[in-house]
Amino acid sequence: METSGPHRLAYNARLDQIGPELAELASDVRDIVTGATAAVTGPRAGHEDTAHLYAARRKLKDRADQLDETLVELLVREAPVAGDLRRVVAGLRILSNLERMADLAVHVAEAADRRAPAAVVPTQLRPTIARLGDLCCELVGLLVTALASTDLPLIRQVEEADEPIDETHRQLLAELTDPAGEHGIETAVDLALISRYYERFADQAVTAARQLAGLNPR
């Protein structure tokens, strides 16, 4: 029988921290994708120092590993009941999504580094790539708010925020594969990959948002 003693209260308090801790990690992911976008579209594209993005990814991984260990311990040591189990499992799944998002953002920065000191994105297409980055930043911002509050209505907002990212990705691919296009094969491949990273980033954010119901104790 479930009790409301000190141990149970402490256990519940730990469960309640899952969402806010994931929100902090999501905020770090937002910073990484913002920096990566600047590296490929900003005024210093091709010369942007990306070392801080890799450092931020390593720091995020360390924090994610610590949270992962905590969540696994909650599973192993506490033998959670059904509702608690859903919260822990949802936390583990969202954590995986956030790490994948960070990796995808770093891939954008890596694309910039591969072509440096040349700019990987042609000047005329920088507004399109910048739009993808900005939309992803806004989307993960919604996810941060949703995780911090376990606000279920925000799930739909995250899903809706993904739609313009998908549309921009499709439009860019159509332009890049147009036989009459002016972009060379190397440039087209670079841009298709970068666009795909943003599109997958958004997909991971939507998947994470859909796990929010599991985090909500009600």
Sign of CA dihedral 185, 112, 38, 192: positive
Q: How confident is the model at residue 4 (pLDDT cuts 50, 70, 90)?
A: low
Give 190 or 216, the one with higher predicted confidence. 190
Is residue 2 pLDDT above 60, yes or no? no
- In the chain, domain spans: 6-215
Sign of CA dihedral 211, 215, 216, 218: positive
Question: Which superfamily, per CATH, for 6-215?
Answer: Phosphate transport system protein phou homolog 2; domain 2 (1.20.58.220)
pTM score, whole prediction: 0.91
**Helical H runs in 47-81?**
51-78
Give the closest residue to 22 by CA, choosing from 102, 136, 126, 131.
Answer: 102
| Confidence (pLDDT) at 218 | 59
